[in-house]
Amino acid sequence: MADDTLQYGTADTISTDHLTNLNGTPITPGPTTPKAQRVKVGYGDDGVFRDVSSLFPLPVGPGTSALITQTINSLNPTAQIDTAGYSWATVQMSAGYVGMTSLTAQVSNDGATWFSWAMAGAGDTSSGINSSLGTAAKQWHGPIPGRFIRFNPAGAFSSGSCVLQIYLTSTPLVLNTQGANANVTNRIAPSYTIGTASGNVFQLRTTGTGTVSATQLLAGVSSLTIYVTDISWANFGAGAADTMLSLIAASSASGGEDLVLKANQSDTRTFLTPWKISTTTNIALNYAISTASTTWFFTIHGFYV
């Protein structure tokens, strides 16, 4: 909207805009042409106004946080923590409680009935989500799925203590692991067989140089169906040239995907409808690279049912 002005009384000037179109109908300019009051979102202290724009977005206040310390030196559960207003917890755990054989993270809505709460090890790259936090010095993190949390030790107390530094934040973060259950895999192909562990999510990463003939990337068992949700790929290096990545489901009824890898570029294809690459009787995914003298990699995410 262009800025015009309209005098209101003898003191105030209102920012307006001459209209040339109203609800899709053109308006002929003239002395009775209507105006619209200019209304924009803005912010500022008293007497100061700044229009919201791409250069000056609405300021967002910092999220709330709290750091709570708990010490374990017996086999009793720690005091429950009310997590109202918080959505994420990072737990730094020390060693030192001699005789403690495990420490279980727990969650509850009523503070009376407790359930195991799976957290992710901050240094784990896969298969790192567990409600048992072990006994070693380590940091764990994850979303808070209930109103109250606590930590329940087991073993035979001998001496020493285990100190928990529990950092609660209102801003959700991202898990440092590469998946959400025991079967999420950061795997160098060829041929990873799904369905060999609990869970139903997988990640495959493949890298190489030069031409590759049809090679099996992923296989499965006959009772499962595999779906691909997204593929990321890149083609780079001194000898990089435009090349083709072909992904071909072993079942001809499942079709395939041909992805052009532009030289020294990366891209991602996300399937709004997950790509079904298998049937219950013929499960496999093959890949081929068409151009030599180029270094490439691609990553595939998906799930199976």
Q: Please tell me the least confidently modeled range out of 23-37, 90-104, 127-141, 271-285.
A: 271-285
DSSP assignments along 87-104, one per residue = -EEEEEE----EEEEEEE
Residue 187 CA to residue 220 CA, distance in Å, equals 15
Phi first, then psi, for residue 300 (nearest 5°) are -120, 130
Number of separate domains in the chain: 3
Q: Are residues 42 and 75 in the same domain?
A: no
Q: Are residues 138 and 77 in the same domain?
A: yes
Q: Are residues 73 and 122 in the same domain?
A: yes
Residue 85 CA to residue 87 CA, distance in Å, equals 7
Whether this prediction's pTM lies above 0.75 is answered by no
Tell me the CATH number at 100.
Answer: 2.60.120
Q: What is the pLDDT of residues 19-29, one digit of tens each?
A: 788 787 888 77
Q: Could you tell me if residue 177 is inside a domain?
A: no
Q: What is the pLDDT of residues 192-208, one digit of tens each?
A: 555 544 456 777 777 77
What range defines the domain where residue 28 resides? Answer: 4-51
pLDDT, residue 80, reads 95
- Higher pLDDT: 61 or 200? It is 200
